[in-house]
Structure 1
Amino acid sequence: MEKIPMTPDGLARLEAELKSLKSVDRPAVIRAISEARDHGDLSENAEYHAARERQSFIEGRIKELEDVTSRAEVIDISKLSGDTVRFGATVSVLDEDSEEQTTYQIVGAHEADLKAGRISVASPIGKALIGKKVGDSIEVKAPGGSKFYEVTMVRFG
């Protein structure tokens, strides 16, 4: 069973989602299915079919989260240090074309959220950043062509 690298915050977010799915969403969809059944003929009951579809999604997500959290290898980034980019690092990069500065935290795939500034260690930019130091340039191949960035800051914690 392959371990999944994850930050403590990432694991906490997934565990909170799992708890909510089990204690709030699952009971709600069971009630919705029961209520829809009471409306009679199930073959033409859109509410019933929608609730069953929602139940299928919830159960699938619960299984996925149980698997991921059971295989999580929590890496305490507060104990990491250094000047080289690796899992858990917060990295600032300068887009060499637009001169736009962006800061990312390198995290596991299941906790990545670009809007929150968390990118997966397995993403193209995450892969390109691993092992780099301040002043290094990276090339990230993207669908729209290659992008070039300069690492301007690396910190942990």
Structure 2
Amino acid sequence: MFRGKRGRRLATLAKEVDRQVVRFMSSYGPTVLRFALGIVFIWFGVLKIVGESPVADLVADTVYWLPADPFVRFLGVWEVTIGLGLILGVALRLVLLIFFLQMAGTFLVLVTQPGEAFEGRNPLLLTTEGEFVIKNLVLIAAGLVLGSTVRNRQARNAEQQQQGIGSS
């Protein structure tokens, strides 16, 4: 691709820039993802708690066997708890467990209200509500990525504690 001495220097520079960008993304990506996901959950949860969620009716109709208003508010508290746990990075395994339980619950719409999720009940034609549910696949993928970092975080924390103890 690059020819001559100048080309080789440019190729070396491009490789170094690429290496630094990948290092930056590897170092900060999981933390940024954790905070972003936490903000989304807090935001959506607060809207449910204060009775301003645009999906409150959809949620209430999905779990029609439960009292609507208390359940929507409970779900809001649940989501705020997930969001705070993600941002604070506390008990991440437990936070991810309740995150995945909540994510599984979002797909109930497809079962209990297929008419709300699909145009003419055609599984290939999503309504706005259906798109709202299906986009949770991306949130699930984000949760899987964060779950893959739990052991690394614990190992780093243990190592930092040992170094702190050893240097005293």
Common fold by TM > 0.5: no
The interval holding the TM-score normalised by the smaller chain is: 0.3 to 0.5
Higher strand share: 1
Q: Per chain length, whose mean CA-contact separation is higher, i.e. which structure has more relative contact order (CA < 8 Å, sep 6+)? A: 1
TM-score (norm 1): 0.32
Higher helix share: 2
